[in-house]
Amino acid sequence: MSESVRSGHPLLRCLLLACSLLLMGLGVSLQIKASLGTSPISSIPYVTAQISGLTVGTTTIIVNAFFVLAQFAILRREVSWTTLLQLLMAAGMGGAIDLWNALLPFDTPDSYVAQWLLCAAGIVTLALGVSLEIRSDLTVAAGEGIVQAVAHKTGAVFGNVKVAFDVSCVVVALVCAVVCLGAPAGVREGTVAAALCVGVCTKGFSKVIRRLDERRWARRPARA
């Protein structure tokens, strides 16, 4: 996408980011309601919420704050202080998750098929939110930020680091759940589905958004 297409009014970009946080929070909440497992990045906040009694939104903020601190430790002098914006994004995301958990007027469906439909809706909604976050071009989520930091420092391919990071999140969540709760929690078949499908759906939504941007800019009259 050209710079002219990527750019936009700062207020509009902030609005896009706010919408993305609401959508991502809704996606996570739908996955929680489905009870088939959360996305890999949300598995640790979910499990720690079950252990501590805190809300998932609160543990999301805490875990993401740890990711931000890890970026400072990894990059040191190379770190940008704009990384701190990720804390604001984490706060918005955590607040959105708790908001939707309180507002959604239903519990886990009894039907396994209905659970999968709810899980699928969560995956698609989460992907749409991520695509709007990318389009806002303001900041990235702390989980993505730490992946970028590790890839930059080690020279590894971003995609490979992302896969390793997601697997690590799931393993940590499983270990914490088994040790502290006596059984797996938040990691099920829906976690695998989210790991496989969120990225694919995000790419699809991003292509649509890019085309809409290109059409919008193409219709603008040329400046004298």
What is the SS3 assignment for 7-24?
Answer: CCCHHHHHHHHHHHHHHH
> 202: which 2 tokens?
């995000």
Coil, helix or strand at residue 157: coil
pLDDT of residue 3 exceeding 50: no
- What is the pLDDT at residue 78? 85
Confidence category of residue 2, pLDDT binned at 50, 70, 90: very low
Identify whether 219 is part of a domain.
no
Q: Evaluate whether residue 141 is within a structural domain.
A: yes
Residue 224 falls inside a structural domain = no
Give the separation between CA 80 and CA 211, rounded to whole angstroms: 31
**pTM for the structure as a whole:** 0.87
Report if residue 37 sits inside a domain. yes
Residue 221 has pLDDT above 90, yes or no: no
Residues of the chain with pLDDT > 70, as a percent, come to 93
- The structural domain count of the chain equals 1
Residue 220 belongs to a domain: no
Residue 5, pLDDT > 60, answer no
pLDDT one-digit tens code per residue, 66-93: 999 999 999 988 888 788 889 999 999 9
User: Does 221 fall in a domain?
Assistant: no
Question: In sequence order, which residues have a C-beta less than 8 Å from that of residue 146 and are 6 or more positions away?
Answer: 67, 70, 71, 74, 165
Q: Look up residue 7 and give its two tokens.
A: 């750019």
Q: Please give the pLDDT value at position 89.
A: 92
Instruction: Give me the percent of the chain exceeding a pLDDT of 90.
Output: 69
- The answer to whether residue 218 is domain-embedded is no
For 87, the domain range is 3-213
